[in-house]
Amino acid sequence: MFDPEKFVNESIEKLKAEIDGTAIIACSGGVDSTVAAVLVARAIGDRLYGVHVDTGYMRKNESKEVAELLRNMGVNLQVDEAAEEFSKELKGAVEPEAKRKAIGHTFIRIFDRYAKDIEAKYLVQGTIAPDWIESGGDLRDVIKSHHNVGALPDDMDLKLVEPLRDLYKDEVRKLGRYLGISIAEKQPFPGPGLAIRIIGEPTLEKADIVREACFIVEEELELAASEGKMELPWQYFAVLTPVQTVGVQGDVRAYGYTVCVRAVQSIDGMTAAYSKIPHEVLEKISIRITNSMPGKINRVVYDITNKPPGTIEWE
């Protein structure tokens, strides 16, 4: 049986002995990096620098909440407001892979800047057992919390510290609760964030649209599930398509975008079935999305594709 108290005490002793300089960790807000950051901060205090990068493509309030949580848990956290920097790099990026690369490189560049600034000697990662078992054990060059979107530059000579590498997800959750971290059951969120939920070239204006639409989908489905109208899907969000059509809003014809709502049931994301959301709930989502952004969105559609043949995300 996993004993979180024993694990924490032993880890803190080990980390104190192991880390003799400054350390850095990328804090995405995910459970693993959050638990790793809090644990290491308990051992070495402010010599651990957490860096949260707000790419401009995060969900509504996400960066603020991540920062608040980590700081309340005693992590010395810097937030890099990098929306402009990411947006510049994403100019002209239409293909999903081009977007992922641009985001990955930008993320690494910012992270590298911080690491040099604080003269970091150690890189802390929230790697857990399934990460290295499934990937054959070679995660040396990967910033796991950003989901393999980029490799560390060769001249960034950091020693790797992975305090959770022998734990499984349920043990990490137990550990998190023991440390007093409020760990909500979060739905999966792709490393490149909302940028891949904007089909075509991402811009900050489009990010605002898809962020608001995602927020409405989340709020309405969570409400409907709490009222027993439906089961909460495994993952649920909105996608901004590049399709513009003529619509009528008020008395005015508007040439607006189409938002697609996506919600699926799944166990592990490998296969998925589209969620059978009641029509009244879909209608409420549609009305809220179109009302909240008059002139910008005049059509909302629902994706009824399973995986396969579709994927969960639209990219």
Using CB under 6 A as the criterion, what x/- string covers residues 143-162 for binding ligand XMP? ----x---------------
**Among 192, 202, 233, 256, which residue interacts with ligand XMP (rule: CB under 6 A)?**
192
**188 near ligand XMP, rule: CB under 6 A:** yes
Residue span binding ligand XMP (CB under 6 A) among the ranges 108-116, 134-142, 185-193, 240-248: 185-193
Distance between CA atoms of residues 133 and 127, nearest Å: 10
**Nearer CB in complex with ligand XMP: 192/256:** 192
Using CB under 6 A as the criterion, what x/- string covers residues 290-309 for binding ligand XMP? -----------------x--
Distance between CA atoms of residues 223 and 81, nearest Å: 31
**Nearer CB in complex with ligand XMP: 303/313:** 313
Count of chain residues binding ligand XMP (CB under 6 A): 11
Q: How far is the CB of 146 from ligand XMP (least distance, A)?
A: 8
**Integer CA distances (angstroms), 221 to 302, 309, 311, in order:** 13, 24, 20
For residues 232-251, which are near ligand XMP according to CB under 6 A? 235
**311 near ligand XMP, rule: CB under 6 A:** yes
Residue span binding ligand XMP (CB under 6 A) among the ranges 54-62, 84-92, 107-115, 186-194: 186-194
Q: How far is the CB of 147 from ligand XMP (least distance, A)?
A: 3
Distance between CA atoms of residues 288 and 165, nearest Å: 43
Backbone phi, psi, residue 263, to 5°: -145, 130
Q: How far is the CB of 157 from ligand XMP (least distance, A)?
A: 26
Neighbours of 69 (CB within 10 A): 18
**CA 164, 67, 193 angle in degrees (round to 5)?**
80
Q: How far is the CB of 129 from ligand XMP (least distance, A)?
A: 17
Taking CB atoms within 8 Å and a gap of at least 24, the contacts of 240-243 are 240/197, 240/198, 240/199, 240/206, 240/209, 240/210, 240/213, 241/199, 241/314, 242/199, 242/200, 243/299
For residues 260-279, which are near ligand XMP according to CB under 6 A? 269
Structure tokens at 176: 């998190």
Residue span binding ligand XMP (CB under 6 A) among the ranges 7-15, 90-98, 162-170, 184-192: 184-192
Q: How far is the CB of 225 from ligand XMP (least distance, A)?
A: 18
**105 near ligand XMP, rule: CB under 6 A:** no
Distance between CA atoms of residues 150 and 142, nearest Å: 7
**Nearer CB in complex with ligand XMP: 190/295:** 190
| Full DSSP string of 75-139 | -EEEEEE-HHHHHHHTTT--SHHHHHHHHHHHHHHHHHHHHHHTT--EEE----HHHHHHTTT--
Q: How far is the CB of 20 from ligand XMP (least distance, A)?
A: 32
**Among 29, 176, 191, 202, which residue interacts with ligand XMP (rule: CB under 6 A)?**
191
**CA 192, 195, 201 angle in degrees (round to 5)?**
135
Distance between CA atoms of residues 227 and 248, nearest Å: 33
| Binding residues for ligand XMP (CB under 6 A) | 147, 188, 190-192, 235, 269, 307, 311-313
